[in-house]
Structure 1
Amino acid sequence: MSNLQTLRFYATPPHDCSYLPGRKAKTLFVDPQASITPEIYSELSDLGFRRSGSHIYRPHCDNCNACVSVRIPTRFFAPSKTQRRIWRRNDDLKVKRVPAQLTIEYYRLYDRYITERHADGDMYPPSPSQFMSFLVEGKQPSCFYEFRDPDNQLICIAVTDMLDQGLSALYTFYAPDQEKRSLGTYAILWQVEEAKRQGLDYLYLGYWVRDCRKMNYKTAYRPLDMLIADRWVRV
């Protein structure tokens, strides 16, 4: 059985940075053949690692520390006036935990979201195989949270990993025509409350990059813990 001391890691060659145009990036991957227990995965999350499908990774760039791991301390989180308004706006939604899986209904929502919101990104065009490799594959405890409106229409899916110390918000996709609901924000707020309900201290949000506009939303949640020089700092 692997532990943090015996794990092997592999670094990729330089590749185009997904966050900062014109930059090159490197990624550090955990050995895909290693047996990673939920406990080890939880420890890796505290070291800034993230999961995408069956891969556990973190940025490993030369002379660049732009990617900062962030998490919300659930017991101390204080929603802003705007966030409280978004919470009330969505109090008619029903949320259900389901296994991470590919269904026609889930894929249709995913396809709409990627096509209408991220046609300029690395994930376009979407495909069922991409959905599987990105959101379903992997051996760590994970689930989908379904968000349905009063007519039982699926309008949002939050993909979430379970850690010993918290929840990890891996990805959220939602109906592009539901802009007034601010579903991306609501999904984070809901997961904060779900983590608290389960007695968990943190909701992990992945990486924040100061100069990447798409990442700015993460600093709207306060207080926020940032992993700086291998130490979690509360801001």
Structure 2
Amino acid sequence: MASMISVPLWLTAKQDCSYLDDRLSQSAVIDPDFTMDTLLYSRLIEQGFRRSGDQVYKPHCNGCQACVPTRIPVAAFRANRKQRRCARRNAETQIVVKTPEFNERHFDLYRRYQIARHDKTSENEISREDYLHFLTSSWCDTWFVEFLIEGRLAAIAVVDALDNALSAVYTFFDPAFDHFSPGVLAVLWQIDSARQLGLDYVYLGFWVKDCRKMRYKIEYQPLEGLIGRQWQPISEPS
């Protein structure tokens, strides 16, 4: 494992946890004035960091280790029955990799997804600035991957290309295509792309066992989690 990189960190104020009720969360955030690049981020993600926009952070919650950074070793991955069905269902799905410039069609899909899945009440709550601030970065090599079903934009996967891995930043989709399992397809595409590029891992972000929306990551096996300072296999009890 790479040695610890010396970077300036700030500790955020405590706030309500986004994943677990009745808990407070806190993050260690790299100083926004510190110069970041893809190579450095490739080392930091190995140590449990993630990015949101240009901000690089990791959970730093007193007495709680629920957020486990995860990654898939792509050479060892084997799709389960559900994932194989998803691949077959999407045999005709078109996939196009785009650069991260602002795209009105992408933004419209993002707003509809947020309203349908994340309790946003209107499109006016979601600005272009917030969208770009969340998904894009001035220093990272980021792809916006389109999934087109019958010529219609069904989903977007935002993916960071690192030196030895791909990192799944965020996926959003048209709820009308929910039966195509676009979230599963996006992960399968990233695994396959990483293999083709000769990369070692796909980073999936945090697995939170007791949070329904974060628990799905355990379905991609073998899955590794950063527990303490060691990457080790994690799986659901049989």
TM-score bucket (shorter structure)? over 0.9
Aligned residue for 1:97? Answer: 97
Aligned residue for 2:171? Answer: 172
Q: How far did residue 127 of structure 1 move?
A: 2.0
Q: TM-score, normalised by structure 1?
A: 0.94
Q: How far did residue 39 of structure 1 move?
A: 1.5
Aligned residue for 1:223? Answer: 222
Query: Is 1:19 aligned to 2:19, yes or no?
Result: yes
2:25 & 2:124 partners in 1: Cα distance? 20
Structure 1 gaps, min length 5: none
Aligned residue for 1:33? Answer: 33
2:28 & 2:189 partners in 1: Cα distance? 31
Q: Conserved in 2, the CA contact under 8 Å of 1:115 and 1:125?
A: no
1:169 & 1:22 partners in 2: Cα distance? 28
2:138 & 2:52 partners in 1: Cα distance? 8
Q: Secondary structure at the match of 2:216?
A: helix
Q: Conserved in 1, the CA contact under 8 Å of 2:5 and 2:44?
A: no
Q: How far did residue 128 of structure 1 move?
A: 1.4
Partner AA of 2:88 in structure 1 = R
Aligned residue for 1:205? Answer: 204
Q: Conserved in 1, the CA contact under 8 Å of 2:114 and 2:120?
A: no
1:99 & 1:59 partners in 2: Cα distance? 29
2:115 & 2:101 partners in 1: Cα distance? 20
1:141 & 1:219 partners in 2: Cα distance? 27
Aligned residue for 1:110? Answer: 110
Partner AA of 2:106 in structure 1 = Y
Query: CA, structure 1 residues 46+5, in 2 after alignment: closer, same or farther (shift >3 Å)?
Result: closer
Structure 2 gaps, min length 5: none
Q: Conserved in 2, the CA contact under 8 Å of 1:114 and 1:125?
A: no
1:4 & 1:142 partners in 2: Cα distance? 25
Total equivalences in the alignment: 231
Superposition CA RMSD, Å: 1.8
Q: Conserved in 2, the CA contact under 8 Å of 1:96 and 1:146?
A: yes
Q: TM-score, normalised by structure 2?
A: 0.93
Partner AA of 2:165 in structure 1 = G
Aligned residue for 1:61? Answer: 61
Q: Secondary structure at the match of 1:131?
A: helix
Aligned residue for 1:191? Answer: 190
Q: Conserved in 2, the CA contact under 8 Å of 1:55 and 1:138?
A: no
Partner AA of 2:212 in structure 1 = R
Q: How far did residue 129 of structure 1 move?
A: 1.5
Q: Secondary structure at the match of 2:96?
A: strand
Q: Secondary structure at the match of 1:177?
A: helix
2:156 & 2:20 partners in 1: Cα distance? 27
Q: How far did residue 5 of structure 1 move?
A: 4.2
2:229 & 2:154 partners in 1: Cα distance? 37
